[in-house]
Amino acid sequence: MRLALLLAVPLMGGLALLLVPGRARRPVHLLASALTLAAALAVAAGVVQAGVLAAADGMLRADALSAWMVVLVAVVAGLAALEATRAAPPEAARWFLPLFHLFVFTMLGAVTTDDVGLMWVAIEGTTLASVFLVNAERSRESLEAAYKYVLICSVGIALAFVGTVMLYFADLSVLGAGEHALRWTMLVDLAGAMPARLVQVAFVFLLVGYGTKAGLAPMHTWLPDAHSEAPAPVSALMSGVLLAVGLYGVLRFKVVVDVAAGPQFASRLLGAVGLASVAVAALFLWRPANFKRMLAYSSIEHLGLVCLGVAFGGPWGTAGAMLHVANHGLAKAALFILAGRIRAAYGTADIAAVRGLRGAMPVTARGFLTAMLALMGLPPFGLFVSEVMIFRAGFEGGHAVVAVLAIGFLVLAFGGLLRALHAMLDGEPPAAVREISAWTAAVPVTIALGLLVLTGIAWPPGLAAALERIASAVGP
């Protein structure tokens, strides 16, 4: 019931936004976002009480991992929704908000279905719903970004489909025939009897496929373009949670392959991909030229870190990875919102052209500085804690070399980000740039940073238990 409601709210919201006249859009949009958040919290509460929620003959299912993702999607979507009322591009006003809710709907669907076939459909749906959002500004650049995005992600996700089909073969070879052969719970139950080689091959396809969606190197090429050309609220959603949804797909199948072929296999692959992502991103971040692209590459870096956390495994690794997903989502939401405002004020996203932010837009500059420091992993923000958890898992699990390399790349990225930050904040402010005066503008950023401080120094009661349950759901 709660699950059905969770999916119905954004879908209905999107439809309603398509129908209502222009002036009513804003309240309907905010209402739909608030209801989505409420439904998400209700699902989380249900999972905390009952352990697992299921609906529609088990087709919809939410365990601790799903609930964590649902809340994350809904919170980041809420923050982005607040910004969407101010930053929706006038060229696409009619379609922007309905597609925004449809996008949220597909992401929520992907993390709450038990059928891996439908999960594939939903994750593919996230691409389809967001193509026009990426291209909302209708410029040459955004068009190119949208083309690359839809092409690369569709091809990638089709590879994941190959993997899904192979797992279906593996499942049928054990089960004979069955209606529920593509259910994830069924796959996990039967994984022990599946042919290990087949599951391994399938997992490689799934990792490449969903890894493309998660922006992992070397399948990341669409990501900087799409994230930098999309309007701010869309960038926030894509970077904050869409990547995490892609990774969620990989995680689900990691459980299956761990049972069928032992934990080493997935762990090694994820470790390699994760380290590659961190490396690629760090090398770019050393000299960024465009601050939205800089944030996009930083997403690759952080998703790589999450991969490493999952690869290191153990109680610290998995829990740290999941916490890091949430922390990164919040930080990126705040940063992309602020970056969108800076871009609107200066008329460009070139770092070289943005000077004297501190003088021109003092409040925005303060927010940007704080969020950037949080993103770099400085205390007292949550990313510090989750990164420490991930690296602790690495050192304890005997992956010291990988961990040290990753820390090296992190330091490199840190230096690059700091230099870019310095270039933007200081200098002579241009006369034409004005600070945004409305107090509501500060709301989403303040909420995100506040939550980051919570996960950094004052874990709310229940967070540790939730992370433990997720870690046990994702495996060893």
Partner 1 sequence: MMAVCNLLAFLGLLAALLVVWRQSRPGRLQLFVAQSALLAALAAAIALYSGHRELLVVAAAFAVVKVIVVPRVLRRVVVGAPVRPVAPGRSAGLKLLGAGVLVLVSYVVMLPVTAATSLPTAGAIPLAFAASLLGLFVCVSGRDAFTHILGFLVFENGIFGLALLGAYGLPILVEAGVFLDVLVIVLIMEGVVVQIRREHASIDVDRLRELRG
Which one among 11, 46, 168, 442 touches partner 1, defined by CB under 8 A? 168
172 binds partner 1 (CB under 8 A): yes
Question: With left for phi above 0 and alpha for psi between -120 and 50, is residue 21 left, alpha or beta?
Answer: beta
52 binds partner 1 (CB under 8 A): no
57 binds partner 1 (CB under 8 A): no
224 binds partner 1 (CB under 8 A): yes
Beta partners for residue 115, in sequence order: 183
Binding window for partner 1 (CB under 8 A); candidates: 137-145, 331-339, 406-414, 435-443: 137-145
92 binds partner 1 (CB under 8 A): no
Which one among 15, 30, 46, 169 touches partner 1, defined by CB under 8 A? 169
147 binds partner 1 (CB under 8 A): yes
Eight-class DSSP state of 459: P
Binding window for partner 1 (CB under 8 A); candidates: 133-141, 243-251, 353-361, 466-474: 133-141
182 binds partner 1 (CB under 8 A): yes
Would you say 210 or 312 has its CB closer to partner 1? 210
CB 13 within 8 A of CB 29: yes
DSSP string, 114-161: SBHHHHHHHHHHHHHHHHHHHTTT--HHHHHHHHHHHHHHHHHHHHHH
Peptide bond into 288 cis (omega under 30): no
Number of residues lying near partner 1 (CB under 8 A):
50
Binding window for partner 1 (CB under 8 A); candidates: 116-124, 185-193, 304-312, 319-327: 116-124
Which one among 102, 108, 146, 242 touches partner 1, defined by CB under 8 A? 146
Identity (one letter) of the amino acid at 447? I
Would you say 93 or 289 has its CB closer to partner 1? 289
Q: What's the burial of 393, exposed, middle or buried (CB within 10 Å: 0-12/13-18/19+)?
A: buried
150 binds partner 1 (CB under 8 A): yes
24 binds partner 1 (CB under 8 A): no
- HEC string of 392-433 equals HHHHHCCCHHHHHHHHHHHHHHHHHHHHHHHHHHCCCCCCCC
Which one among 12, 20, 165, 378 touches partner 1, defined by CB under 8 A? 165
Which one among 34, 162, 369, 423 touches partner 1, defined by CB under 8 A? 162
CA-CA distance, 308 to 318, in Å (whole number)? 9
Query: 162: Cβ–Cβ under 8 A, 6 or more apart, which residues?
Result: 205, 209
Q: Which two tokens stand for residue 338?
A: 């602020």
The neighbour count for residue 372, using CB atoms within 10 Å, is: 24
CA-CA distance, 297 to 299, in Å (whole number)? 5
Eight-class DSSP state of 23: G
103 binds partner 1 (CB under 8 A): no
Which one among 73, 88, 145, 402 touches partner 1, defined by CB under 8 A? 145
Write the interaction track for partner 1 spanning residues 270-299; mark x where CB under 8 A is met and - where it is not. Answer: --------------x----xx--x------
List own/partner pairs for 250-254 with CB under 8 A and 24 or more apart: 250/206, 250/207, 250/210, 250/211, 250/214, 251/65, 251/310, 251/474, 252/116, 252/119, 252/184, 253/116, 253/163, 253/167, 253/202, 253/203, 253/206, 253/207, 253/210, 254/203, 254/310, 254/474, 254/475
Beta partners for residue 60, in sequence order: 55, 113
SS3 state of residue 350? strand
Least separation in angstroms between residue 192's CB and partner 1 is 15
Least separation in angstroms between residue 238's CB and partner 1 is 16
Least separation in angstroms between residue 58's CB and partner 1 is 13
Write the interaction track for partner 1 spanning residues 379-408; mark x where CB under 8 A is met and - where it is not. Answer: ------------------------------
Would you say 173 or 440 has its CB closer to partner 1? 173
Would you say 94 or 138 has its CB closer to partner 1? 138
Would you say 33 or 135 has its CB closer to partner 1? 135
Least separation in angstroms between residue 292's CB and partner 1 is 11
Which one among 23, 90, 179, 428 touches partner 1, defined by CB under 8 A? 179
| CA distances from residue 428 to 36, 290, 354, 360, 370 in whole angstroms, order as listed | 44, 19, 10, 9, 21
CA-CA distance, 393 to 341, in Å (whole number)? 38
364 binds partner 1 (CB under 8 A): no
173 binds partner 1 (CB under 8 A): yes
CA-CA distance, 88 to 102, in Å (whole number)? 15
Our measurement of the distance from residue 345's CA atom to the centroid of its chain's CA atoms, rounded to an integer in Å, reads: 27
Q: Which residue ranges make up the site for partner 1 (CB under 8 A)?
A: 115, 117-118, 120-121, 124-125, 128, 131-132, 135, 138, 140-141, 143-148, 150-151, 154-155, 158-159, 161-162, 165-166, 168-170, 172-173, 179, 181-182, 195, 197-198, 201, 224-225, 228-229, 284, 289-290, 293
